[in-house]
Structure 1
Amino acid sequence: MVAGLLAATPAASQTTGTAGDATPQPEVPAPAKQGLSFKPDVGIVYQAGDFRLTAWGFAERLIDPGGPDYFRRVRQGAEIDLPRISDHLRIAGVYEIDLTDTNAFGINPGLAGTLNSHDFENLFVAVQDADDPAKFRVLFGHNTSILSRDDNLSSGNLPTINRSLILEEHGSTNTFGAQLGVQVQKMLSPTVTLLGSIGDNRGGLNAQQVNFSFGRAVAAKIVLTPVSDDKGGRKLTAGFAVDRTTGIRDRTFNLATAIGFAAVGGLAATGTKTTGEADIAYTFPIAGHPTTIEAEGISSRFSESRSDVYGGYVMGQVSLFDAPRTGDLDLFARFDVVSLGADQIARRATQQAIRTGFNYNLPYTRKLASLHLEYGHSTITGPTAIVTDRRSANEVRIGFRVSLQQYIRH
Structure 2
Amino acid sequence: MQIQLAEFLRDRADGEEAATIVQKCVHCGFCTATCPTYQLTGDELDGPRGRIYLMKQVMEGAEVSASTRSHLDRCLSCRNCESTCPSGVAYGRLVDIGRAVVDQRLDAQGIKRPIRERAIRWMLREGLSRPRLFGPAMRVGQAVRTLLPASLRSKVPPRRGPGRWPATAHPRTMILLDGCAQPAMSPNINAATARVLDRLGIRMLRAGSAACCGAIRHHMSDHLGALAQLRRNVDAWWPMVEAGAEAIVINASGCGVMVKEYGHLLRADPVYAGKAARISAMARDLSELMPEHGDRLVSMLPPATAGGGRQAPPRVAYHPPCTLQHGQRIRGKVEALLGALGVEVALCADSHLCCGSAGTYSMLQPELANRLRDQKLANLHACAPQTIVSANIGCLAHLQGGTDTPVRHWIELVDQLLHAAHTGDTP
The interval holding the TM-score normalised by the smaller chain is: under 0.3
**Which one scores higher on RCO, CA 8 angstroms, separation ≥ 6?**
2
**TM-score (norm: length of structure 1):** 0.27
Q: In proportion to residue count, which structure has more strand? A: 1
Q: More helix per residue: 1 or 2?
A: 2
TM-score (norm 2): 0.26
